[in-house]
Structure 1
Amino acid sequence: MTITSTPGGTRTEQPPATGGRPGRARRPRRDRVVEALWGYAFIAPIGLGLAVFYLWPVLQTAYFSFTAWGAFGGHTWTGLDNYHRMLHDHEFGQAMVNTLAYTALGLVSIPLAIVFAALLNRPGLRGVGVYRTLFFLPVVTMPVAIAMVWRWLYNGNYGLINYLLSLVGIDGPNWIADPRVALYALVAVGVWSSIGYNLVIFLAGMQAIPKEYYEAAQIDGAGPVRQFFSVTIPLLSPTAFFVSVISVIGSLQLFDLVYVMAGSGDAARANPAFPRLETVVQLFYDRAFVTNDRGYAAAIVMVLLLVIIALTAFQFRMQKRWVHYG
């Protein structure tokens, strides 16, 4: 503000508005619009891809879940009939129980991956690159190939596992055809195939922990085990949260292992253990592409989507409470 004297008195002149920070002129509106347009132009390819290949199929599936499909195509609006039918479908209930049980049991891969990552993170360990490669090999192997190999290993007549058990006098079961052990056998394959991926993530998280924390703990007299539980585990909690979220989402979408190891359609239903192996995605596939009941299949997969969203939101809520009280 400047004050000048004039013959008529004193006049005060206000400085021009700068729009925020002093000394910096406000950018013209045209420049801001052009900058925003360039930003939208750069994100347009990925945005269109997400809209066409992710958002639109979800909206279509949500619409089809309220319809009934004919044998030769075409659909009619049926409202909530598919969801009402689902409430009384024992097979869907059993498939959901199987999926949730597989998801819960499969979380054992997280503590196992943490332990193996801690062992591989020891300083001076020789051949650590070889060990990491061996652990990560199942991750880069095709799931169908993994399922075929384990199907042979689990064979009750000539499988390698039962052969090794027979050497010590144990008569092993028919792992995939025995309802008592079929689900646990499937969980073992899932844990074995996913532990390498989790291990690499945990190993990266451990290597990001500053060494000063371990040095301070060592000065206070903490041994390797105490350092693991008092330093490594608390500082690794954000990584464990991320791994738990992606593990739960992946387990709820289990399909390929069941499809190859147990089969589908009438051939799979001849297996006495199939009711303990069928997952929600397996049931969706059977209804959509085997019996051509696509409206009901769309309703099944929409319920699965809601379950995934609910469990993920629950995990985020628990993580926030953990951070708040921790």
Structure 2
Amino acid sequence: MTVAHTPGGPAARSRRPSGDGRWAAILLAVPVLGLVVFYLWPLIRTAILSVSTGNPFLGYQITGFDNWVQVLTGDELPRALLNTLVYAAVVLLGVPLAMIAAVLLHQRGLRFRGLFRVLYFLPVVTMPAAVAMVWRYIYNGDFGLLNEVLATMGLPTTAWVADPRTALYAVAVVGIWMGLGTNLIILAAGLEAIPDSVTEAAMLDGAGPVRRFASITAPLLSPSVFLVSVLSVIGSLQMFDLLFVMLGRTNPALADSKTIVYLFYEEAFVRSDRPLGAVIALVTLVVTLIVTAIQFRLQRRWVHYA
């Protein structure tokens, strides 16, 4: 007796996995190729360039770790690294500010909630150079708006971005302001995921707003806070544009306010020493990985996943 195989029978189904596998390989090949071409290969080239000497016209030759020794034993890298970590620590203060703003905007019955969120998010979609130029005028020591307000209140004024004692912190305030919108949107999404029944149960038990925030909102929102913290630190470690525009290359405070990415810009593009710039780029990568790994290690103590 002969059994006819229908198009949807076992024989047809047995052939589908191989076809699906080919399509899966094709679809995966595109992102993998992009990863290799735009990330892995440049990283390998940077590593090779960091142990080489030469110039773009005559080429580069691998000579050893002299570039690494020069950068790691120099005076500029430790200062730039310290400035970068200080900047990142100050920008992290924007996370609790965004958390408070998100909780306030999440209140029931709040009118124009969407408008407020849009206003908070405007700095995110604004060009950093434009933001830096505006804040540079606000911080101006002669006619800046901030000094005018402080003078009318009888408070001391200063040249905020020209004083080595305040320049880095002034730039960090702008970084907090620019990142507030992104942090607010992420935290608002985290608040939306908190069940209303939990909050209502706490209200029935007599918990006030502060107690509900400390015992319910903050623990349940901790995964979103952790995500915002990681993104803020990574962005801070890569900060360059604000410092470049707000301070300028002739600013007397620049020498004491350089970040590690600004140091990379000076070596690779101003002094045209690409091998030293490659070393600084790899150091930046290593520092970012270490700081992020520390954050992931510490999150076990305070992040609560439902």
TM-score calculated relative to the size of structure 1: 0.86
Matched, 1:43 2:43: no
Q: Which letter maps to 1:311?
A: V
Which structure is larger by alpha-carbon Rg, 1 or 2?
Answer: 1
Q: Which moved more, 1:310-319 or 1:120-129?
A: 310-319
Matched, 1:293 2:273: yes
Q: Which letter maps to 1:191?
A: I
Match among 84, 89, 96 for residue 99 of structure 1: 84
SS in 2 for 1:272: coil
Match among 142, 154, 164 for residue 169 of structure 1: 154
Which residue in the other structure is 1:183 paired with?
168
| 8 Å CA contact 1:66, 1:81 repeated in 2 | yes
Q: Which letter maps to 2:181?
A: G
Q: CA deviation at 1:71?
A: 6.8
Q: CA deviation at 1:298?
A: 0.2
Match among 306, 309, 324 for residue 286 of structure 2: 306
Q: CA deviation at 1:102?
A: 0.4
Q: CA deviation at 1:224?
A: 1.2
Q: How does 1:121-140 map to 2 (within 5 A)?
A: 121-140=106-125
Q: Distance in 2 between matches of 1:45 and 1:87?
A: 38
| 8 Å CA contact 1:162, 1:172 repeated in 2 | yes
SS in 2 for 1:93: helix
Q: CA deviation at 1:31?
A: 4.2
Q: Which letter maps to 2:218?
A: I
Q: Which letter maps to 2:252?
A: P
Q: Which letter maps to 1:174?
A: A
Q: Which letter maps to 2:267?
A: R
Q: CA deviation at 1:237?
A: 0.9
Q: CA deviation at 1:323?
A: 5.3
Q: Distance in 1 between matches of 2:304 and 2:221?
A: 16
Q: Distance in 1 between matches of 2:185 and 2:298?
A: 24
Which residue in the other structure is 2:4 paired with?
none
Q: CA deviation at 1:51?
A: 1.7
SS in 1 for 2:61: strand
SS in 2 for 1:76: strand
> Aligned in 2, Cα 1:73/1:211: closer, same or farther, shift over 3 Å?
farther
Q: Distance in 2 between matches of 1:33 and 1:85?
A: 55
Match among 206, 210, 216 for residue 231 of structure 1: 216
Which residue in the other structure is 2:98 paired with?
113
Q: CA deviation at 1:69?
A: 2.6
Q: Distance in 1 between matches of 2:265 and 2:197?
A: 52
Runs of at least 5 residues in structure 2 that lack an aligned partner in the other structure: 1-9
Q: Distance in 2 between matches of 1:205 and 1:324?
A: 13
| 8 Å CA contact 1:67, 1:77 repeated in 2 | yes
Task: Give the aligned CA root-mean-square deviation in angstroms.
Answer: 2.0
SS in 1 for 2:84: helix
Which residue in the other structure is 2:67 paired with?
82
Which residue in the other structure is 2:128 paired with?
143
Q: Distance in 2 between matches of 1:194 and 1:297?
A: 28
Runs of at least 5 residues in structure 1 that lack an aligned partner in the other structure: 1-23
Q: CA deviation at 1:34?
A: 2.9
Q: CA deviation at 1:180?
A: 1.2
Q: Distance in 2 between matches of 1:251 and 1:73?
A: 36
| 8 Å CA contact 2:52, 2:64 repeated in 1 | yes
Q: How does 1:201-240 map to 2 (within 5 A)?
A: 201-240=186-225
Q: Distance in 1 between matches of 2:101 and 2:305?
A: 28
Q: CA deviation at 1:133?
A: 1.1
TM-score calculated relative to the size of structure 2: 0.92
> Aligned in 2, Cα 1:139/1:70: closer, same or farther, shift over 3 Å?
same
Q: Distance in 1 between matches of 2:135 and 2:229?
A: 25
Q: CA deviation at 1:100?
A: 0.6
SS in 2 for 1:68: strand
| 8 Å CA contact 1:68, 1:296 repeated in 2 | no
Q: Distance in 1 between matches of 2:78 and 2:63?
A: 22
Q: CA deviation at 1:325?
A: 11
Q: Which moved more, 1:30-39 or 1:208-217?
A: 30-39
Q: Distance in 1 between matches of 2:188 and 2:59?
A: 52
Q: How does 1:236-315 map to 2 (within 5 A)?
A: 236-264=221-249, 267=250, 271-315=251-295
**1:51-103 CA distance string (max 9 Å, x none):** 21122111111111111233745112121111111122111111110001101
SS in 2 for 1:236: helix
